[in-house]
């Protein structure tokens, strides 16, 4: 719509805050009736540049189940948020958070995933968290499934590969919407639903014995079941709590063609389509045409029930949330070696710096992405993850001078503001890991994102004491000034 003015800054009710996930922070993995989850059988990486989360087989699961310690399985201990949540939420409030993104551990509510009755102790735990948030005027933003599910569903039916999991999930979601009606205004169904390269982490399906093509087949089938489950959850949510909003969540990586050669430009376009396929389904309510060709040429056949298309059409989301950490370059001549849900190009960009974990830092890419997503979907956008994983040093007087983190975040906030001036409808920004937590990809503790330092090392040694970093006071100012004071 033509107007002779542009928004000059962040909207008034902008949701500033931080984002976390249950399996990376709660700990208390075997307390109060909770069942074992898929995240708790993933070993920590031996090499920090490799994601151990992708390395799961039936055999490694068996080994994990016979080991009832958290030594090799850091996601079992998290940062013990389960027992520190009051202290932690108070610190978030001190920073001025308007929103706190967290996930619910399905296995706290339904320990086996297919139980008839929910576990009251699990439900209560999240009641306490939401009440605590509201005490400080913090809006909880809740991910229903963030890289974990009850392990029993893997053992019994190979996770999301099975259609049966849809019914288990809708029982879980219905329980949540009824219980937390009025307490949770913002929901999200699946974290990074497009991250199927993550295999087991994303789908709870074991596929190590399969060929690459069979893996692709299984993962796309699993994600189809997630699409249906997500759409059903959207419908339930709208019905049970019409005031609540429910979104989808995408791992967004901006990609660029390596050169202006049209073959690179086209390869990049395909990469982008394969990334946006997931949001096309969840926002537009249908499989996009370009996937027909992709599936056909890659021998992938999606098994759909006759009613699936209708369900997907009805269950379109209210907003689009996404994580953004980096960008990448697509080179048409490079053949992908491993399975690639073709999510990520991993080409190097000579114009960008990288983090210690090789992630290419690209704040302008965030503005580009925001514009692209807004142009394509025209629904509110929410940046629900962004941040720098770095090695921090705690000084003897318990300070952390993390100017590098401030620099990273500042540059991204500047670009979000540019996007708002471009006309993008952006509803909020929750940085990843406002308090240090266990890494999703490698299970390290030393890959820290937080404004709050947690005294724990990769082996789980430490007092678990929380300390404010320099970035804590910086973010406090950012929020208080609604993004104006970035100094
Ligand atoms: C996203 C996940 C988060 C998170 C983040 C950082 O993909 O949604 O769970 O942890 O990435 O990744 P990592 O922890 O591996 O550094």
Has domain 15-480 been given CATH number 3.40.50.261?
Answer: no
Spatial distance between the Cα atoms of 389 and 356, rounded to a whole number of angstroms: 8
Is residue 385 within 6 Å of ligand 1 at its C-beta? yes
Say if residue 446 is exposed, middle or buried (CB neighbours under 10 Å; 0-12, 13-18, 19+): middle
Please tell me whether residue 77 adopts helix, strand or coil conformation. coil
Pick from 430, 382, 409: which is nearest to 486 by CA?
Answer: 409
Taking the centre of ligand 1 as the mean of its atom positions, its distance from the CA of residue 48, in whole angstroms, is 13
pLDDT at res. 140: 98
DSSP state, residue 41: G
Q: What is the pLDDT of residue 51?
A: 65
pLDDT number for residue 23: 98
pLDDT score of 174: 98
In DSSP terms, 247 is beta-bridged to 188, 319
235 catalytic per annotation = no
For residue 299, what are the contacts with CB-CB under 8 A and spacing of at least 6?
A: 213, 217
How many angstroms separate the CA atoms of 92 and 138, rounded? Answer: 9
Ligand 1 atom nearest residue 389's Cα: 16
Give residue 196's pLDDT: 80
User: Rounded to the nearest 5°, which phi and psi values hold at 12?
Assistant: -60, -45
Structure tokens at 333: 């001549």
pLDDT of res. 344: 46
Instruction: Report, as ranges of residue numbers, the positions in the chain whose pLDDT lies below 50.
Output: 337-345
Of the candidates 40, 148, 192, 444, the residue annotated as catalytic is 192
Pairing type for strands 254-257 and 245-251 reads unpaired
Give pLDDT, residue 1: 80
The answer to whether residues 186 and 141 touch, using CB atoms and an 8 Å cutoff, is: yes
Q: Give the distance (Å) from ligand 1 centre to CA of residue 21.
A: 9
CA–CA separation, 172 and 400 (whole Å):
41
Q: Is the CB of 323 under 6 A from ligand 1?
A: yes
Closest ligand 1 atom, residue 53 Cα: 15
Question: What's phi and psi for 191, nearest 5 deg?
Answer: -65, 135
- 326 CB-contact burial (10 Å; exposed 0-12 / middle 13-18 / buried 19+): buried
How far is 4 from 23, CA to CA, in rounded Å? Answer: 48
Out of 40, 254, 385, 444, which one is annotated catalytic? 385
The DSSP element (H or E) to which 19 belongs, if any, is strand 15-19
C-alpha of residue 289 to centroid of ligand 1, in Å? 30
């Amino acid at each position: 719509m033509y107007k002779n003015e542009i928004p000059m800054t962040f909207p008034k009710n902008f949701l500033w805050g931080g984002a976390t996930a249950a399996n990376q922070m709660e700990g208390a993995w075997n307390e109060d009736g909770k069942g074992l989850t898929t995240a708790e059988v993933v070993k920590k990486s031996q090499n920090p540049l490799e994601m151990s989360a992708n390395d799961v087989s039936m055999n490694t699961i068996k080994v994990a189940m016979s080991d009832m310690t958290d030594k090799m399985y850091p996601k079992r201990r998290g940062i013990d948020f389960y027992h520190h949540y009051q202290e932690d939420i108070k610190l978030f409030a001190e920073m001025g958070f308007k929103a706190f993104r967290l996930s619910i551990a399905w296995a706290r509510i339904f320990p086996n995933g297919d139980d008839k009755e929910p576990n009251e102790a699990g439900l209560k735990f999240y009641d306490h968290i939401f009440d605590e948030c509201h005490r400080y005027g913090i809006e909880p933003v809740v991910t229903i499934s963030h890289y974990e599910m009850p392990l029993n569903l893997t053992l019994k039916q190979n996770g999301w590969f099975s259609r049966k999991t849809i019914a288990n999930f809708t029982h879980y979601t219905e329980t949540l919407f009824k219980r937390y009606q009025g307490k949770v205004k913002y929901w999200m169904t699946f974290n990074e639903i497009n991250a199927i390269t993550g295999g087991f982490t994303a789908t709870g399906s074991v596929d190590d014995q399969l060929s690459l093509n069979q893996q692709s087949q299984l993962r796309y089938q699993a994600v189809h079941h997630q699409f249906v489950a997500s759409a059903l959850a959207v419908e339930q949510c709208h019905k049970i709590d019409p005031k609540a909003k429910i979104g989808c969540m995408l791992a967004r990586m901006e990609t660029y063609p390596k050169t202006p050669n049209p073959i690179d430009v086209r390869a990049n376009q395909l990469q982008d389509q394969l990334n946006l396929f997931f949001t096309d389904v969840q926002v537009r309510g249908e499989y996009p045409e370009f996937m027909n060709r992709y599936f056909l040429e890659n021998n992938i056949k999606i098994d759909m029930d006759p009613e699936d298309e209708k369900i997907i059409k009805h269950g379109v989301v209210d907003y689009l949330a996404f994580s953004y950490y980096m960008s990448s370059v697509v080179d048409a001549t490079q053949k992908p070696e491993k399975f690639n849900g073709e999510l990520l190009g991993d080409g190097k960009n000579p114009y960008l710096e990288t983090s210690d974990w090789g992630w290419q830092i690209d704040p302008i890419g965030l503005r580009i992405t925001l514009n692209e997503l807004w142009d394509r979907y025209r629904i509110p956008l929410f940046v629900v993850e962004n941040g720098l994983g770095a090695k921090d040093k705690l000084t003897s007087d318990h300070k952390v001078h993390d100017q590098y983190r401030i620099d990273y975040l500042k540059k991204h906030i500047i670009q979000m503001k540019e996007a708002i001036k471009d006309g993008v409808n952006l509803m909020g920004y929750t940085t990843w890991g406002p308090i240090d937590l266990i890494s999703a990809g490698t299970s390290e503790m030393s890959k820290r994102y937080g404004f709050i330092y947690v005294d724990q090392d990769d082996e789980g040694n430490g007092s678990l004491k929380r300390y404010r970093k320099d970035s804590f006071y910086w973010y406090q100012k950012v929020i208080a000034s609604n993004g104006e004071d970035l100094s």
